[in-house]
Structure 1
Amino acid sequence: MPHSVSLINTIAAGLGLALVFGFLAARLRLPALVGYLLAGVIIGPFTPGFVADAGIAAQLAEIGVMLLMFGVGLHFSLADLLAVRKIALPGAIAQIVVATLLGGGLAVWWGWSWGAALVFGLALSVASTVVLLRALESLGILDSFTGRIAVGWLVVEDLAMVLVLVLLPPLAGALGGTNAESNGAPVWQTLGLTLLQVGGFVLLMLVVGRRVFPWILWQVTRTGSRELFTLCVVAAAVSIAFASAALFGVSFALGAFFAGMVMRESQFSHRAAQESLPLRDAFAVLFFVSVGMLFDPSVLVDRPLQVLAVVLVIVLGKSLAACALVLVFRYPLATALTVSASLAQIGEFSFILAGLGVMLGLLPVEGQSLVLAGALISIATNPLWFSLIAPLQKWLRAHSKFARELDARSDPLAELPMTTEARYLSRQVVLVGYGRVGRRIAAELESNDIPYVVAEQNRELVEKLREAGIPAVWGDAADPAVLIQAHVARARVLVVATPDAMNVRQMIETARTLNPTIQTVVRSHNEQEARLLAAEADVKVFLGEQELAQAMARDVVQRAAAMAVPA
Structure 2
Amino acid sequence: MHNSTPLITTIVGGLVLAFLLGMLANRLRISPLVGYLAAGVLAGPFTPGFVADTSLAPELAEIGVILLMFGVGLHFSLKDLLAVKSIAIPGAIAQIAVATLLGMGLSHFLGWDLTSGLVFGLCLSTASTVVLLRALEERQLIDSQRGQIAIGWLIVEDLAMVLTLVLLPAISNMMGNQHVSFGQLFTELAITLGKVVAFIILMIVVGRRLVPWILAKSASTGSRELFTLAVLALALGIAFGAVEFFDASFALGAFFAGMVLNGSELSQRAAHDTLPLRDAFAVLFFVSVGMLFDPMILIHEPLAVLATLAIILFGKSAAAFLLVKMFGHSQRTALTISVSLAQIGEFAFILAGLGISLGMLSEHARNLVLAGSILSIMLNPLLFSLLESYLAKTEVIEDQSLEEIVEDEAQTPVAFCDHALIVGYGRVGSLLGAKLIQQGIPLVVIENSRPRVEALREQGISAVLGNAANQEIMTLAGLECARWLLLTIPNGYESGEIIASARAKRPTIEIIARAHYDDEVTYIMARGADKVVMGEREIANNMLDSINIGMAMPPRAEGCTI
TM-score calculated relative to the size of structure 2: 0.74
- Structure 1 residue matching 2:55: 3-state secondary structure: helix
Change (3 A) 1:84 1:537: farther
The answer for unaligned runs of 5 or more in structure 2 is 413-443, 491-513, 515-537, 553-562
SS in 2 for 1:522: strand
SS in 2 for 1:76: coil
**Equivalent residues in 2 for 1:364-513 (5 A)?**
364-397=362-395, 408=398, 414=402, 456-457=403-404, 475-478=405-408, 499=448
Q: Is the Cα contact below 8 Å between 1:524 and 1:542 reproduced in 2?
A: no
When residues 233 and 71 of structure 1 are mapped into structure 2, their CA distance, relative to the original with a 3 A threshold, is same
Q: Which residue of 2 aligns with 1:462?
A: none
Matched to 1:119, the amino acid is V
Q: Is residue 330–residue 400 contact of structure 2 (8 Å, CA) maintained in 1?
A: no
- 1:28-67 pair list within 5 angstroms: 28-67=28-67
Moved more, 137-146 or 334-343: 137-146
Q: Aligned residue for 2:220?
A: 222
Residues 406-462 of structure 1 show CA distances to partners (whole Å, capped at 9, x for unaligned) of x64798xx4xxxxxxxxxxxxxxxxxxxxxxxxxxxxxxxxxxxxxxxxx45xxxxx
Q: Within 5 Å, give how 1:241-390 maps onto structure 2.
A: 241-390=239-388
Q: Secondary structure at the match of 1:30?
A: coil
CA contact (8 A) 1:526 1:543 kept: no
Q: What are the within-5 Å matches in structure 2 for residues 77-226 of structure 1?
A: 77-174=77-174, 176=175, 186-226=184-224
Task: Report the equivalent of 1:21.
Answer: 21
- In structure 2, what is the equivalent of residue 453 of structure 1? none
Stretch moving more, 108-117 or 192-201:
108-117
**Cα drift, residue 173 of structure 1:** 3.8
Aligned partner of 1:521 in structure 2 is 462
Indicate if the aligned counterparts of 1:173 and 1:182 stay in contact, CA closer than 8 A. Answer: no
Q: 1:527 to 1:50 in 2, by over 3 A?
A: closer
Q: Which residue in 2 is equivalent to 1:471?
A: none
RMSD over aligned CA atoms reads 3.5
In structure 1, runs of 5+ residues without a counterpart are 398-403, 415-455, 458-474, 484-494, 509-518
Q: Does the CA-based 8 Å contact 1:99-1:122 persist in structure 2? A: yes
Output one character per residue of 1:374-399: Cα deviation in whole Å (capped at 9) or x when no partner: 000000111001111122224555xx
Q: CA separation in 2, counterparts of 1:361 and 1:55?
A: 18
CA distance in 2, matches of 1:395, 1:72: 37
Partner-residue secondary structure (3-state), 1:143: coil
2:199, 2:246 within 8 Å by CA — same for their partners in 1? yes
Moved more, 313-322 or 74-83: 313-322
Report the more deviating stretch, 357-366 or 522-531. 522-531
Tell me the CA shift for residue 190 of structure 1.
1.2
Aligned partner of residue 283 in structure 1, secondary structure: helix
Give the secondary-structure state (helix, strand or coil) at the position aligned to 2:169.
helix
TM-score by length of 1: 0.74
Structure 1 residue 498, shift from structure 2 partner:
9.0
Match of 1:535 in 2: 478
Q: Take 1:523 and 1:262, find their aligned partners in 2: how far apart are those partners?
A: 36
1 CA distance for matches of 2:268 and 2:363? 40
Separation of aligned partners in 1, 2:183 and 2:56: 34
Alignment partner, residue 467 of structure 1: none
Q: Is the 8 A contact 1:523 1:542 kept in 2?
A: no
Q: Is the 8 A contact 1:523 1:544 kept in 2?
A: no
- Say whether the 8 Å CA contact 1:92–1:157 is kept in structure 2: yes
**Contact map agreement 1:522 1:542 (CA 8 A) in 2:** no
Q: Which residue of structure 2 lines up, in the alignment, with residue 511 of structure 1?
A: none
Is the alpha carbon distance of 1:211 and 1:319 closer, same or farther for their aligned partners in structure 2, counting shifts above 3 Å? same
Letter of the 1:301 counterpart = I
User: Compared with structure 1, are the counterparts of its residues 122 and 384 closer, same or farther at alpha carbon in structure 2 (3 Å cutoff)?
Assistant: same
Paired-residue identity, %: 54
CA distance in 1 between partners of 2:360 and 2:263 (Å): 38
C-alpha distance in structure 2 between counterparts of 1:62 and 1:26, whole Å: 26
> 1:35/1:227 Cα in 2 relative to 1: closer, same or farther (>3 Å)?
same
1:355, distance to aligned residue in structure 2 (A) = 1.1
CA change 1:109–1:362 in 2 (3 A) is: same
> Which residue is equivalent to 1:472?
none
SS of structure 2 residue aligned to 1:361: coil
1:209-238 deviation digits (Å, cap 9, x = unpaired): 011001110111111111111111111111
Q: Distance in 2 between matches of 1:409 and 1:19?
A: 43
Distance 2:10 2:179 in 1: 31
Instruction: Summarize the Cα distance change of 1:107–1:264 in structure 2 as closer, same or farther, 3 Å threshold.
Output: same
3-state SS of paired residue (1:140): coil
Q: Distance in 1 between matches of 2:550 and 2:476?
A: 44
Give how far 1:135 is off: 1.3
Q: State the Cα distance separating 1:183 from its structure 2 match.
A: 12
CA distance in 1, matches of 2:279, 2:35: 14
Amino acid at match of 1:393: L
Count, aligned residues? 458
Residues 38 and 181 of structure 1, relative CA distance in 2, 3 Å threshold: farther
CA contact (8 A) 2:447 2:466 kept: no
